[in-house]
C-alpha cells in the first residue's frame, strides 16, 4: 500500500504521524538482527533473503537503491503469510466491513468506500500522494471507526489489512515482521511491489500506481525464481499468477455489470434488487470457476462475507490495468516499459486511460489466442 502518510483532518494526520514515528523509532539494522544470537533461524534466513532481494531489485530491475527495507521492525505477535489454500493479495487485501471479522497479520489497514450506486471509490487528497482511493491507518480500531462513520453515511465500505506499506521514499521504510512470514516468493514480491512505488508514482491515479507496482513485482518475482533454478516453485508461482488473473477478470466483469445497473434510469429499489442479483451472479461464477484451479489456490475467504461496491473497487485498483502492463513489459522489455509508463504521466487522464485500455485489450486478445 502506497503513501499512507498524509491527511484530510487533524485526527487522521495525528494517527498517521505518530504511527509512522513509532514505526521508525523501532527500526533495527537488518545486519544487526541477523547477527543477534536471539534471532530465530526462520527470521534470520528471511532477512538474508531481503538483503539479496534489495541487491536484485537494483541490479536487475533498476529499482531505487536507498535505505528503504534495510532495517527491521518486529511487530507484536509476529506474523504469518496468507493462510494455506488462500490466495494472497489480488486486490489490496480488501477485508470485511466496519464491524465484521478482524484482519490479522497486518502492518497497516486501509478503508475503501463507494456510494451505494457507484463502482468508483471515493477519493481523499493527501499532501504527498494527491488523490488516493483509500485511507491508510496504523491502527485497526481507528480504521474501523472511520469505516463505521462512512457506513452511517450510506456508503459501501471495505476494511483491508496490508502486510506492507510505502511512504514513496520520503522515509527509509523498514521491513516489518508481517512481510516475512510466508513463502520466500511472497516476501520477494512484497519488497519489489513497495520499491516499485518509489520508481514510479503518479499523483492522483491509484489504479495506475498499484497496477504498475503489481506488474513490476510479479515480473521481478518470476525472474528471481528463474535465476534460483527452483522449477517447482516457479511453476507454483505462475499457477498462482494465472489464478489471480482469472479472479481479477471475474471482478472486472462484475464491475461492468454494476456500472450498467447504476447508470440506468430506474428507481432506487429496482437498482438495489439488480445489485443484489449481480452479486449472486458473481458468486455463482466463482463457484463454477474454482474447480478449474485444481485446489492450488482459492478466494473462499474473499467471498465469505457480504460483498459490496467497495470490495469490487479494491480489486480493480490493484489489478485492472495489470494485463496490459504485463503485455507491455513482455513485448517491449523492461527499459522500454519504464519509458512508456513514464510517458503516461504527461497525458491527461482521459488519454492516459485510453492508452492503458488499448494495452489491456491487446493483452486479453492475445490471452484468448493463447499467445500470452
- 334 in a structural domain: no
Q: pLDDT value at position 286?
A: 98
Query: How far apart are alpha carbons 237 and 243 in whole angstroms?
Result: 10
DSSP string, 276-341: HHHHHHHHHHHHHHGGGGTTS-B-HHHHSS---HHHHHHHHHHHTTHHHHHHHHHHH-HHHHHHHH
- 239 in a structural domain: yes
Please determine, for residue 13, whether its predicted confidence score (pLDDT) is greater than 80. no
Q: Please, which pLDDT band fits residue 89 given cuts at 50, 70 and 90?
A: very low
Higher pLDDT, 100 or 187: 187
Query: How far apart are alpha carbons 83 and 181 in whole angstroms?
Result: 11
Q: Please, which pLDDT band fits residue 58 given cuts at 50, 70 and 90?
A: very high
- 173 in a structural domain: yes
Please give, one letter per residue, the 3-state secondary structure of 260-279: HHHCCCCCHHHHHHHHHHHH
Q: What is the number of structural domains in the chain?
A: 1
- 116 in a structural domain: yes
Q: Please, which pLDDT band fits residue 236 given cuts at 50, 70 and 90?
A: very high
- 305 in a structural domain: yes
Q: Please, which pLDDT band fits residue 294 given cuts at 50, 70 and 90?
A: confident
Q: Please, which pLDDT band fits residue 76 given cuts at 50, 70 and 90?
A: low
Average per-residue pLDDT in the chain?
88
As a whole number, mean pLDDT of residues 108-126 equals 93
As a whole number, mean pLDDT of residues 255-260 equals 98
Please determine, for residue 8, whether its predicted confidence score (pLDDT) is greater than 70. no
* Listed residue (322, 359, 361) closest to 340, CA to CA: 359
Q: pLDDT value at position 97?
A: 42
As a whole number, mean pLDDT of residues 197-221 equals 96
Q: pLDDT tens, 140-175?
A: 999 999 999 999 999 999 999 999 888 888 888 999
As a whole number, mean pLDDT of residues 182-203 equals 95
- 327 in a structural domain: no
Instruction: Determine contact, residues 141/159, Cβ cutoff 8 Å.
Output: no
Q: Could you identify the residue written with the cell 432506487?
A: 268
**β-pairing verdict for 71-73 and 135-137:** unpaired
C-alpha cell at 238: 505462475
Please determine, for residue 78, whether its predicted confidence score (pLDDT) is greater than 50. no
As a whole number, mean pLDDT of residues 12-41 equals 91
Higher pLDDT, 316 or 262: 262
Q: pLDDT tens, 297-326?
A: 889 999 999 999 999 999 998 999 999 999
Please determine, for residue 3, whether its predicted confidence score (pLDDT) is greater than 80. no
Q: pLDDT value at position 243?
A: 94
Instruction: Determine contact, residues 314/92, Cβ cutoff 8 Å.
Output: yes
Please determine, for residue 289, whether its predicted confidence score (pLDDT) is greater than 60. yes
Q: pLDDT tens, 337-370?
A: 999 999 999 999 999 999 999 999 999 998 876 6
Q: pLDDT value at position 14?
A: 79
Q: pLDDT value at position 370?
A: 64
Q: Could you identify the residue written with the cell 526462520?
A: 42
Q: Please, which pLDDT band fits residue 201 given cuts at 50, 70 and 90?
A: very high
- 355 in a structural domain: no
Q: Please, which pLDDT band fits residue 100 given cuts at 50, 70 and 90?
A: very low
- 1 in a structural domain: no
Instruction: Work out the percent of the chain whose per-residue pLDDT is above 90.
Output: 72
Higher pLDDT, 169 or 37: 37
As a whole number, mean pLDDT of residues 35-57 equals 96
Please determine, for residue 68, whether its predicted confidence score (pLDDT) is greater than 90. yes
Identify the domain containing residue 103 by its residue range: 10-320
Higher pLDDT, 339 or 17: 339
* Listed residue (274, 350, 10, 52) closest to 184, CA to CA: 52
Amino acid at each position: 500500500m502506497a503513501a499512507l502518510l498524509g491527511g484530510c483532518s487533524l485526527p487522521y494526520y495525528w494517527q498517521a504521524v505518530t504511527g509512522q514515528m513509532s514505526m521508525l523509532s523501532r527500526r533495527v539494522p537488518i545486519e544487526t538482527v541477523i547477527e543477534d544470537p536471539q534471532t530465530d533461524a526462520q527470521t534470520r534466513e528471511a532477512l538474508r533473503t531481503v538483503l539479496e532481494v534489495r541487491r536484485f531489485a537494483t541490479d536487475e530491475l533498476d529499482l531505487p537503491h536507498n535505505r528503504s527495507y534495510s532495517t527491521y521492525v518486529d511487530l507484536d505477535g509476529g506474523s504469518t503469510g496468507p493462510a494455506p489454500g488462500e490466495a494472497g493479495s489480488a486486490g489490496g487485501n480488501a477485508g470485511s466491513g466496519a464491524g465484521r471479522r478482524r484482519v490479522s497479520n497486518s502492518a497497516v489497514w486501509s478503508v475503501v468506500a463507494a456510494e451505494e450506486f457507484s463502482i468508483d471509490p471515493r477519493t481523499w487528497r493527501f499532501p504527498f500522494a494527491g488523490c488516493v482511493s483509500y485511507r491508510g491507518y496504523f491502527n485497526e480500531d481507528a480504521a474501523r471507526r472511520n469505516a463505521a462513520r462512512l457506513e452511517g453515511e450510506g456508503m459501501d465500505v471495505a476494511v483491508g489489512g496490508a502486510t506492507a506499506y510505502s511512504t514513496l521514499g520520503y522515509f527509509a521504510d523498514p521491513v516489518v515482521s508481517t512481510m516475512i512470514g510466508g513463502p520466500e516468493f511472497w516476501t520477494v514480491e512484497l519488497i519489489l511491489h513497495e520499491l516499485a512505488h518509489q520508481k514510479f508514482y503518479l499523483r492522483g491515479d491509484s489504479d495506475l500506481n498499484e497496477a504498475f507496482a503489481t506488474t513490476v513485482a510479479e515480473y521481478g518475482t518470476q525472474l528471481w525464481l528463474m535465476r534460483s533454478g527452483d522449477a517447482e516453485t516457479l511453476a507454483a508461482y505462475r499457477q498462482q499468477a494465472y489464478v489471480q488473473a482469472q479472479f481479477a477478470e471475474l471482478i472486472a466483469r462484475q464491475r461492468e455489470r454494476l456500472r450498467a445497473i447504476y447508470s440506468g434510469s430506474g428507481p432506487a429499489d429496482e437498482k438495489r434488487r439488480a445489485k443484489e442479483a449481480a452479486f449472486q451472479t458473481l458468486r455463482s461464477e466463482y463457484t463454477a470457476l474454482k474447480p478449474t484451479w485444481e485446489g492450488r489456490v482459492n478466494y473462499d475467504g474473499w467471498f465469505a462475507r457480504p460483498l459490496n461496491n467497495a470490495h469490487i473497487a479494491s480489486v480493480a485498483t490493484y489489478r485492472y490495468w495489470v494485463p496490459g502492463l504485463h503485455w507491455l513489459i513482455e513485448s517491449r522489455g523492461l527499459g522500454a516499459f519504464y519509458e512508456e509508463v513514464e510517458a503516461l504521466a504527461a497525458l491527461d487522464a482521459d488519454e492516459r486511460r485510453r492508452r492503458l485500455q488499448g494495452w489491456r485489450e491487446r493483452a486479453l486478445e492475445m490471452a484468448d489466442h493463447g499467445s500470452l
